[in-house]
Amino acid sequence: MSLCQYSIVFALLFVGAFGHGDEELFLPLKTLQKIQHNHNEPTCSSQKSRSENGAVMLEMKHKDYCFRSRGDLSKRLQKRLLADDIRVLSIQSHIKNVSSKKVEALSQTTTQIPINSGVSMQTLNYIVTATLGGRNMTVIVDTGSDLTWVQCQPCRLCYNQPEPLFNPSISPSFQSVACNSSACQSLESATGNSGLCGTNSQTCSYLVSYGDGSYTKGELGQDHLVLGSSSVDNFVFGCGRNNRGLFGLASGLMGLGRSDLSLISQSSGVFGGVFSYCLPSTEAESSGSLVFGGDTSVFKNSTPISYTNMVPNPQLFSFYFLNLTGMTVGGVAVQDSSFGRSGFLIDSGTVITRLPPSIYKAVKAEFLKQFSAYPSISGYSILDTCFDLSAYEEVNIPTIKIYFEGGAEMEVDVAGVFYFVKSDASQVCLALASLQYEDEIGIIGNFQQRNTRVIYDTKQSQVGFAKETCSFM
């Protein structure tokens, strides 16, 4: 057995027993199947928060197990991957459009919030609960968006959500944002659409459209935002009166990008422009955390944090770009001249990591070489490297590591290597996909970020990685 493989044979108990660098973890195939096809009832009705050493921690869950989708599993999985592909195409289109326009961009407490897995949008997968104007709101977490918004009363067109719509008329701290305000003028850099005034200069209207045809329209407002035990006064957000699309049953979206209207920028006086998350698996009982603030002592990482500098991109300032310098499969370095030549986007809303065609081809070839003992089968949706593992109780999976400028590394958790299309393991696919063209921007998706502490420090302009078994407790 190679020292650079996961051997799926022993109980989950052994997973945490092997430290960084051992290159081999032990996990039963049935445990992996459970992680991706859990049938327990979801337990997301009351997400927790706490403060520790000045940090605010919010419990984070996966959306699929908080707002369960009904219907045929295979169709839901296919829709999820198709929606993910649409998001990636939208990101690539936005990058090309902005680049062609050559648009020029623009000591603290810590808070930890539970982060949960999330439903039907199925590309923006993780949710947390925050308190806005005294009301708890369950929102999708997205590092690829800037404006935070929630559905508001009175609503002309709203999708269904289990929580009551936000009602600004009963919030004593709500105020409309005027058209001549700096917040209204910041909308174009945050959303791609400038603020609209119409006949009423006292209100600033906004529009955010997403690549799959989803959108939210409404007016900008400001209110008192509470994250754990910390608060942000006069927080500017979108009060959505006309919302449509694949947002599942969440009340809205939390924008963690870098523009002036993002939550990170608006709370920089409280948290210093630093946040991090540990994304849990899709098991119903799994929960991770979204942490605001730079106190690393609240983390439960099992390996040291390694940092890499963000790649500056004035034209796309809002996104988080990194320089990916290499990858290994089973300890073998993948050879390709494309490494280190262009920035990769790290994104909490994209599910499957996308690699430039040449890098993907090299990674796929090395993986197939090391996994040749197992039968290959036809691909599934965007995933073209698939296997039938239903006849095996023990499967040795090559480890995958991603390396960044400055020596930072991210080891893909064993649960992020394979995507189980069928719960009986008769169709299991390598959870990586190729971009269509070499000049497109690579994306590190959330499927590969699970059980990793990812730290975003916007003041120092760096991103850190460390292994962590995600748990809010």
- Residue 64 catalytic? no
The residues, any chain, with a CB within 8 Å of residue 122's CB and separated by 6 or more, are 63, 64, 69, 76, 79, 80, 83, 84, 246, 248, 351
Tell me which DSSP letter residue 345 carries.
Answer: E
Helix (H, G, I), strand (E, B) or coil at 126: strand
Which of 146, 223, 347, 413 does the annotation list as catalytic?
347
Query: CA 105, CA 341: separation in Å to the nearest integer?
Result: 22
**CA–CA distance from 91 to each of 222, 279, 438 (Å)?**
28, 21, 15
Instruction: Tell me the residue type at 315.
Output: Q
Residue pair 287/278 in contact by the 8 Å Cβ criterion: no
The DSSP bridge pattern shows strands 149-151 and 321-329 to be unpaired
Instruction: Tell me the residue type at 88.
Output: V
The residues, any chain, with a CB within 8 Å of residue 123's CB and separated by 6 or more, are 80, 83, 84, 86, 87, 212, 246, 349, 350, 351
Count of C-beta atoms within a 10 Å radius of residue 421: 22
- Residue 84 catalytic? no
Query: CA 215, CA 107: separation in Å to the nearest integer?
Result: 37
Which of 142, 223, 260, 295 does the annotation list as catalytic?
142
What amino acid positions are annotated as catalytic residues?
A: 142, 347
